[in-house]
Structure 1
Amino acid sequence: MDHGYTEYIEKSDRIPRLISHLFEKMPAIEADRAVLITQSYRETETEPVIMRRAKAFEHILKYIPIVIRPEELVVGSATIAPRGCQVFPEFSFEWLESEFDTIATRDADPFSISEDTKRSLHEVFQYWKGKTTSELATSYMAPQTLIAIEHNMFTPGNYFYNGVGHVTVSYDKVLRIGYEGIIQEAQAALDQMSLGDAEYSKKSQFLQAVMISCQAAIQYAYRYSELAAREAEQCTDSVRRAELIQISQNCAKVPAKGATSFYEACQSFWFVQMLLQIESNGHSISPGRFDQYMYPYYKKDLDSGRITREFAQELMDCIWVKLNDLNKARDHASAEGFAGYGMFQNLIAGGQNGDGEDVTNDLSFMSIQACMHVMLPQPSFSVRVWNKTPHEFLMRAAELTRTGIGLPAYYNDEVIIPALMNRGLTLQDAREYNIIGCVEPQKAGKTEGWHDAAFYNMCRPLELVFHNGMDEGVKVGIDTGNVEDMETFDAFYDAYKKQNHYMLSLMVNADNAIDVAHAERCPLPFLSSMVEDCIGRGKSVQEGGAVYNFTGPQGFGIANMTDSLYAIKTLVYDQKKVTMAEYKEAMDHNFGRQLSPEDAAEITKALARRLVDQEVEVDEERIREIYQVAKANGVPEEKRLKYEALRAMIEEVPKYGNDIPEVDQFARDVAYTYTKPLEQYRNPRGGWYQAGLYPVSANVPLGAQTGATPDGRYAHTPVADGVGPASGRDVHGPTAAANSVAALDHAIASNGTLFNQKFHPSALEGTEGLSKFVALIRGYFDQKGMHMQFNVVRRETLLDAQAHPENYKTLVVRVAGYSALFTTLSKSLQDDIIRRTEQGI
């Protein structure tokens, strides 16, 4: 099969200049959208919320400043500043106002913000007090839920403070019929209704809101058409003038009407992608199967001679750059959990169609090439793998992995398709899945998945077992008895399950409260216009308009929980080498570890932030007091030696990740303590809960809120990421680690699992290295593993990048379910990546 590599292997000179322009300055916060939505809301206070949302969207798109960046071929930007972000006060604003003076200097994802912008935002924020989704969601939560959140048992902050996102819309529909066609569809649905229908009032308002929103998108594109025409008139460069004229013609055509060329399809795609993130600030708006819905336009143009592979590749490269232009600001804590300016726009290639035929095509290969040309974190590029995936496609994907960019992630059709069918998807829909955000499967254009609904740290309920439901002197969990009195491992394990089930019920209460708040205050008619069957049902996705509705919170800490429980079982109950009282005492004293000044300072900052969050005045004397308490965490020498001896015994207990069947089967059961109980819960949109097993990068900041664990992990250090072994504990090579992870039941975790591995670059050298690497993936997938992703980088390179970030501005690494520029990550997250076991093949 000839995929014409020689014809488009070299990237355009344009691409490096576009990238350079994008990264010249720190990203900036802009106030235009916040001002405009506030203006509109003031004028529509007596109208239904769905109509207010549509009219606000219309007002924003009519007046928000627009720009065509130098040399762009595909246009449309949410901000004037490259990589800038707008503000969305309808979801939350208090956190941003409190961080006005620190957001530019914080460790994770800093943003510049001008004094004028601060003044403008402060003024509009006054209007939104008492009107946000976060405030409404809080009022719906049970008191015990709020206590659990305060004590970091779980965090639903993703949608608590932001839009939902995490969706793939029907890009193919917009490419095919344009927004004019969707308007006609909504009008036809409205015409079929009778004034006497029981739900006429709400449905008619929704359908009208869809039409207003789609028309606003059309008018917005016309603004770009006019701007390009004006710039063309003033342009003295004949080549650029011709480009601007073509851009003007494209924007006059799409996305109003269906695309008739690959270039038009690229421009139409981009308007959809960008406008979704002006309507709402939910991230993980994922392009999905770009190589499938774009291929007919590419193939038609290529066969007719209308386009060359070289120009088609350049257009794709331009889109890849544009995907890095979109950005959002998060609160300090969330920024640490999503460090690296993560937008999680997952674009996936390869796989099969609804009839079960492999559909890898030229655009699949060209997507890999675009990643090699651009070498940036976005899109979060992924590939689908099954037994008919062409070997040359996997080898080409492996070449991309070898670059060290952390792309692509690999997904197993043989697990994901049946997992989705088990959740109610048809066979055809399941076969056509794509990946959302990090690792979450769904059917595009039919699903409101609520992926990443919460981060659930599986280690925290174990802390409650050791303290009979208490945390920092507060009753957070339930009574399960004194741990010292538990005479059997089954009694101890049962206590964990009870604390865990109780915390899961509180997490569900939090998610459902937030779900209801979004439906009541922030329905999204524009997004809903591109998701089935919202128009047919006459309701937004937030109200249950999608065909498939899920809520997918993710649990993490599998490795720590497995190693912890197995150590307790072995040392306390089987071998009786230590009593539970001795174990508890050692953990309460952090195994005798004397905190380093760096650790103490990190705890100090965390405690100080917590005091600030609770509106307790914090002064320098109090800061020093907290620091001294943290630093003086040592214990008498005799006790310290005893605790260290226990920790040495723990190290000798077999660990998850080394292909030990007894331990791996134990891990499978531990994972079930999270995945199975979730299946009993339902959400307000008529769907149900499904578990994911991945942390994004929250295992680092949430680990900082977690005490010592029975596996010997020190307090306030990272929890294991994803479903992989704890860092440094997989000592028998990558195949052994993969075999252990494959022992988990990945199919039940239908919201996705995440398996990180790190390789030394020498492991992938030459054709032989790539072949062995592909064989590792095939072998893991043959055992029903769901997902794999890789860092291929020398430890020495990462250490040098920490010390000299100015020399590594373009170093991209795999963080969790996404890649990011290494130097933009917080030091704690950088350290976590460095600590991962470095494998060879």
Structure 2
Amino acid sequence: MKDKVNMNRIMRLKNRVLNTRPEMDLENALILTRGFRESEGEPLVVQKAYAFRKQCLEKTVKIWDDELIVGNSGSKQRGGLLCPDTCWSVLDDELDTISTRKYDPFYLRDEDREHFVDEIRPYWKGRSTYEKWLCQIPEDTRILRDCGVLYINRKAVRGWGETTAGYEMIIKEGIEGIKRRIEETRAALDITKPGHYEKMVYLRALSLSADGVIQLARRYSAEASRMAENETVKTRKEELLSIAEICRRVPEKPAETFREALQSFYIYHTCIFMEQNAASYNPGRMDQYLYPFYKADLEAGRITPQEAQELLDCLWVKFSEPCLFQDEKTAQYSAGYPMFQNICVGGVDENGMDAVNELSYMILQATMDVQLYQPSLSVRYHMVRNPNAFLKKVAELIKLGTGFPAFHCDEVGIQMLMNKGIPLKEAYNWNPCGCVETNLAGKMHCYTSYADYNLGSVVEFALNDGRSRKYGIPAGARTGNPCDFKSFEDFFKAVKEQITYIIRAMVAGNHVNDDICLERVCPALSLSFEDCITKAKDYAWGGPKYNVGNGLDAIGVADLINSVYAVKYLVYDKRMLSMEKLLEALEHNFTGFEEIEKLCLECPKYGNDDEDVNQLTAELFSFIADLIESFDSKYGHMTAGILPVSGNTPFGLEVGALPSGRKAYVPLADGVSPNAGTDIEGMGAVMKSVSFIPHGRFSQGTLLNLKLDPAFNQSENSTQSLMAFLKSMCSLGVFHVQFNVIDRDILIDAQKNPEKHKGLLIRVAGYTAYFVELGKEVQDDIISRTAHAGVNV
């Protein structure tokens, strides 16, 4: 099939994206600001919808050569959008350096700078949700954030990403069908009844947003017609005329063909980025909601598999155009302009039966064909229902070494949704979101990764009476002098008290954030959530069918386990050293205490299937899950997750030496992976240790990184071995794994000679990026991961 797709077109599209310099794109911000000025006096949600519609009517509309799927959330092919109503100050802080900063630079044109200084900044100063958050953050939460124990509400995290819109409703009903829903809801209201006026106001905002989407598509249709008139190449002229006809119909009307469904999806996808640019608006289960259109076209002779594959490949290139704009410090540790647009294939259908279809394979093939860093691709694999042929295709993609796909055990994903309160019938339809989080398209409200907390700091605080070693100030709970602890139980109690103190502070900050985020209205996104329409209640206000407490995500799993176990083993069980000596060694970062360092390093470690360490793992993370789920928010129980992205690197910079033998201020372990170099019993032992974490209860997702030596691919039975390993992972109840298949020497050479390795894709954590665009600290962390030459099941 691949040879018959027009790969010349795909390579031209791909190369144009790769060779286009990312720019700050302030056109949307400028139109938004003018829209808010024009609508002053209106309710906030109407102002937001009015400004969105104005963006749709006035933004630059451009169709690039060779494109078959069109649309762009901004005015530039690769642009970083600024959303000043949520946070304008990121750009203000870096106005003079944004074009030249080391990580993820964005070229800022002089005219855009002038617009920012003259119009955008003056209007929004003091009005953004980020500024309100800074004023209202609880003091304990602020101290923990400033000491690197919590990572909350980054400046560049804005909007309502980490969600999956109801794309299927947009495609099947069209915006005209959604407008009918709005009118039906409005017709049932009576302004004389309390609360109904507010609903009428909200429905007006939905109507404005719906009209904006329609008008934007019509403008693309007009642009394609204009270009076709001037086109002299017959084949391209026909393509432009087809684009004009398709955009004249969708997404206003229900899609009738596979190509219309793709175009309807993508126009709406760009619209929700326009409304509030954010990482992680997830296309979800594309092989399910697009398959009926592909099947019907195929049966009617309207399309061939090769033509459909080319359309998918074109769409895959489009996913790599938008660039996440984040502040310089954040970019240093999560570089690569990651947008976290997570697409999912496989799993079961709403009846619990096999959902794999021809489109599932074609989506895997699109990732093989295009090999760009976006979209993220995830696989749901159900051991009982999904066929071996599907698993084989997945294994072949993994072996390419691009970091795709992220592999998920479907049974555990379903458990996670049910743990969030979703009935089984609907939990069958879950999809991965962002990194590895669990979501439900068009039905769920949840910020899946509200905050990260530092498990390395937990141990440090328990051994330092709540003081930060780096900053020398009290930041955690006062749990006393550890030299006075009489037993391991006393120490373990102190560890639990520190965890409790930190999580309570996160929950306090979450409640403030939830209130502020009521202002982060998003009527364009809410258009695709049926319950937002019938309730006349915005996504930001809890309008979707299911509302879940935000996610609290752990970083440093192995550091916590290994350090707690080292104290138990060395100080209390074996009495090989005193608490006083251990504390002295940690204070000096093991300098002059090399024998103690050796004892710490030689302790049994997580990742080697040690029975005692495994039992400690289960006890610690059951305690954490119990604790987090004991807290309620206005949207439901708080939820737990373990998905660090690359936060293990900056968090490590905040933590001194630990009893595990880890030196001060180096990266913590990533995700649920062992500390680098400590997993010496092979991948089977790693998987068994990881299985002692109660994955189903960490319902925002758990993330496991593994690295395979390329020598593995040379094995005669490598594909079958990898398939067997993935099946055993599912049988153990482990939720997720993703692989890098890369030679360590190549990574080292790429670090030294980046110009030779510009196309080298690597799986960082929950996202794939070009290795040479990552910060050195993150590169070093990836290089240090244990490389397994074989798979033992």
1:609 aligns with none
1:227 aligns with 223
Write the deviation string for residues 420-453 of structure 1: whole angstroms up to 9, x where unpaired.
2132111111111101010011211101121111
Query: In structure 2, the residue corresponding to 1:348 is in which secondary structure?
Result: strand
1:766 Cα offset (Å): 6.0
1:16 Cα offset (Å): 0.5
1:109 Cα offset (Å): 1.7
2:675 aligns with 726
- TM-score, reference length from structure 2: 0.97
1:631 aligns with none
Write the deviation string for residues 728-762 of structure 1: whole angstroms up to 9, x where unpaired.
00001111111111121111101100011100122
Pair 1:541-2:539 in alignment: yes
Given candidates 295, 300, 304, the residue that maps to 2:300 is: 304
> 2: CA distance between counterparts of 1:565 and 1:295?
50
1:61 aligns with 56
Q: Is the 8 A contact 1:159 1:453 kept in 2?
A: no
Query: In structure 2, the residue corresponding to 1:459 is in which secondary structure?
Result: helix
Alignment of structure 1 residues 511-530 onto 2, 5 Å: 511-519=510-518, 521-530=519-528
1:404 aligns with 401
1:45 aligns with 40
Pair 1:468-2:440 in alignment: no
Pair 1:345-2:341 in alignment: yes
Q: Which amino acid aligns with 2:540?
A: Q
Q: Which amino acid aligns with 1:654?
A: P
Write the deviation string for residues 109-151 of structure 1: whole angstroms up to 9, x where unpaired.
2222123222221221121111011122233322222222122
Identical counterparts, % of pairs: 37
Query: In structure 2, the residue corresponding to 1:553 is in which secondary structure?
Result: strand
Q: Is the 8 A contact 1:283 1:344 kept in 2?
A: yes
Q: Is the 8 A contact 1:21 1:82 kept in 2?
A: no
> 1: CA distance between counterparts of 2:47 and 2:309?
41
Q: Is the 8 A contact 1:548 1:687 kept in 2?
A: no
Query: In structure 2, the residue corresponding to 1:174 is in which secondary structure?
Result: helix
Given candidates 416, 419, 422, the residue that maps to 2:419 is: 422
> 2: CA distance between counterparts of 1:215 and 1:766?
57
Q: Is the 8 A contact 1:158 1:453 kept in 2?
A: no
> 1: CA distance between counterparts of 2:723 and 2:745?
25
1:611 aligns with none
1:8 Cα offset (Å): 6.3
1:248 aligns with 244
Alignment of structure 1 residues 11-30 onto 2, 5 Å: 12-30=7-25
Query: In structure 1, the residue corresponding to 2:186 is in which secondary structure?
Result: helix
1:748 aligns with 697
Alignment of structure 1 residues 258-269 onto 2, 5 Å: 258-269=254-265
- TM-score, reference length from structure 1: 0.92
Q: Is the 8 A contact 1:166 1:450 kept in 2?
A: yes
Write the deviation string for residues 533-559 of structure 1: whole angstroms up to 9, x where unpaired.
111221111111112222112112110
1:840 aligns with 789
Query: In structure 2, the residue corresponding to 1:555 is in which secondary structure?
Result: strand
> 1: CA distance between counterparts of 2:224 and 2:434?
33
* Greater Cα offset, 292-301 or 123-132: 123-132
Q: Which amino acid aligns with 2:99?
A: A
> 1: CA distance between counterparts of 2:728 and 2:6?
34
Given candidates 66, 81, 84, the residue that maps to 1:86 is: 81
> 2: CA distance between counterparts of 1:581 and 1:117?
59
2:285 aligns with 289
1:190 Cα offset (Å): 0.8
1:157 Cα offset (Å): 2.4
Unaligned runs of 5+ in 1: 1-5, 593-639
Given candidates 589, 602, 611, the residue that maps to 1:661 is: 611
Task: Say if 1:11 and 1:242 are closer, same or farther in 2 by CA, change over 3 A.
Answer: closer
* Greater Cα offset, 330-339 or 447-456: 330-339
Q: Is the 8 A contact 1:8 1:313 kept in 2?
A: no
2:714 aligns with 765
2:587 aligns with 588
> 2: CA distance between counterparts of 1:32 and 1:449?
29
Q: Which amino acid aligns with 1:64?
A: K
> 1: CA distance between counterparts of 2:315 and 2:154?
27
Q: Which amino acid aligns with 1:503?
A: I
> 2: CA distance between counterparts of 1:740 and 1:117?
52
Alignment of structure 1 residues 767-786 onto 2, 5 Å: 768-786=717-735
Q: Is the 8 A contact 2:2 2:369 kept in 1?
A: no
> 2: CA distance between counterparts of 1:588 and 1:126?
49
Write the deviation string for residues 775-801 of structure 1: whole angstroms up to 9, x where unpaired.
001001101111111001111111111
* Greater Cα offset, 80-89 or 383-392: 80-89
2:775 aligns with 826
1:281 Cα offset (Å): 1.4
> 2: CA distance between counterparts of 1:766 and 1:251?
49
> 2: CA distance between counterparts of 1:770 and 1:87?
44
1:372 Cα offset (Å): 0.7
1:574 aligns with 573
Write the deviation string for residues 156-183 of structure 1: whole angstroms up to 9, x where unpaired.
1247852231111111111111111111
Query: In structure 1, the residue corresponding to 2:82 is in which secondary structure?
Result: coil
1:474 Cα offset (Å): 2.8
Q: Is the 8 A contact 2:28 2:74 kept in 1?
A: no
Write the deviation string for residues 382-424 of structure 1: whole angstroms up to 9, x where unpaired.
1111122111111111111111100011111121212321321
Q: Which amino acid aligns with 1:166?
A: E
Q: Is the 8 A contact 2:459 2:563 kept in 1?
A: no
1:9 Cα offset (Å): 6.5
Q: Which amino acid aligns with 1:118?
A: R
> 1: CA distance between counterparts of 2:153 and 2:520?
16
> 2: CA distance between counterparts of 1:672 and 1:45?
51
Write the deviation string for residues 700-752 of structure 1: whole angstroms up to 9, x where unpaired.
12211222221111111111000011110000111111111112111110110
> 2: CA distance between counterparts of 1:211 and 1:759?
52
* Greater Cα offset, 759-768 or 538-547: 759-768
Query: In structure 2, the residue corresponding to 1:13 is in which secondary structure?
Result: helix
> 2: CA distance between counterparts of 1:9 and 1:769?
28
> Aligned residue pairs: how many?
785
1:122 aligns with 117
> 2: CA distance between counterparts of 1:132 and 1:454?
20
> 2: CA distance between counterparts of 1:715 and 1:119?
45
1:574 Cα offset (Å): 1.2
Q: Which amino acid aligns with 2:42?
A: E
Alignment of structure 1 residues 614-625 onto 2, 5 Å: none
> 2: CA distance between counterparts of 1:497 and 1:377?
39
Q: Is the 8 A contact 2:221 2:244 kept in 1?
A: yes
Task: Say if 1:228 and 1:45 are closer, same or farther in 2 by CA, change over 3 A.
Answer: same
Q: CA RMSD in A?
A: 1.5
> 1: CA distance between counterparts of 2:171 and 2:5?
28
Pair 1:697-2:696 in alignment: no
Query: In structure 1, the residue corresponding to 2:648 is in which secondary structure?
Result: coil
Alignment of structure 1 residues 480-499 onto 2, 5 Å: 480-499=479-498
Query: In structure 1, the residue corresponding to 2:650 is in which secondary structure?
Result: coil
